[in-house]
Amino acid sequence: MLVPVPTLSQLPRTLAPMLASTSPLPETEERWAWEPKWDGWRVLVWGEGGHVRVVTRAGHNVTNLFPELEPLGEIVGRRDAVLDGELVAWGDDGRSDFGRLFSRLHSRSGPAHRQAKTEFPITWVAFDLCYLDGASFLDQPYRSRRAALEDLDLSGPSWHTTPASLGEGLAMLRAAREYDLEGVVAKRLDGRYLPGRRSRSWVKVKRFQRAEVVVIGWVPWRNGLSGPLAVGQRIDGGSAQVRFAGVVEAGFSEGDRAELGRRLVDLQDPTARPWREHRGQPLYPVRPELTVEVQLLEWTALGQARHMSYKGIARQ
């Protein structure tokens, strides 16, 4: 049941969206709601005077870029509402495609914009409600905000409400993997909406994968410890040629750094000059003989790994 909330004389002109922290899957699944994590562009939608206003996380008004959302004003524009959500573009396979959204965002006027609107239609996916009928829902628990959002019945040609599952985190995560989504967002059922704050009441659980990569460079630290690792993938499997895949910075324990330091110092030519710099630190090449396992979000079309973390030395 909704708790009474005060009615405002007018909606706030600005509102910073609440942000999620990144964490493993919460253990008490039944205390959380689970939503897909869309690979899109975060925006808030204001509904006032029969019209909608689309505003980015940075506070920029981009309403004119998305004319397909104008009819949404007939639904929320007369309700004095502020809703949170994500703009998503879809690929030919029906899955979210950030590349198409990027093309849409960078075609802002003229014939290119009209062509992009036709070729790359977008959908606004609503996932939270901040104000409705001039009343603030910020202090309401997620469960109440979700009920009010569902009552709006946002289902149209270019907008809908994100699905949510109560207490079924593993099932939602499996669905995210099946449909190639970035992951899921877990939201505490009793959590308030905290504008502009990164809160552990919202937790991003990303759909990671693992891969074996070969170390091709490292940043030597003091006391024989290893810093970040440059890694690559062998071209055509067993080839001696290695394609650079990125730099691993996260996931190391002190024991990992000591073990890697002992191994990599023997693989580095002591006369070699730094290959490149990484965040102001010299990165030295090593012979590509040590294979490690990493966890990553995805591979880009250019063969680069996104969001890598170290998991250990691969079994030889």
Question: Active-site residue among 37, 187, 206, 311?
Answer: 37
CB under 8 Å to 53, separation ≥6 — which residues?
45, 46, 47, 61, 63
- Tokens representing residue 9 in the block: 């004389």
Rounded Cα–Cα distance for residues 235 and 94 (Å):
31
- Tokens representing residue 262 in the block: 């002992």
Phi, psi (rounded to 5 degrees) for 140 = -80, 150
Nearest of 262, 255, 248 to residue 295 by alpha carbon: 248
148: DSSP letter: H
Nearest of 137, 142, 159 to residue 70 by alpha carbon: 159
CB under 8 Å to 119, separation ≥6 — which residues?
100, 103
CB 67 within 8 A of CB 117: yes
Rounded Cα–Cα distance for residues 193 and 301 (Å):
36
Please indicate whether residue 37 is annotated as part of the active site. Answer: yes
Burial of 307 (0-12, 13-18, 19+ CB in 10 A): middle
Phi, psi (rounded to 5 degrees) for 150 = -65, -30
Could you give the residue numbers annotated as active site? 37
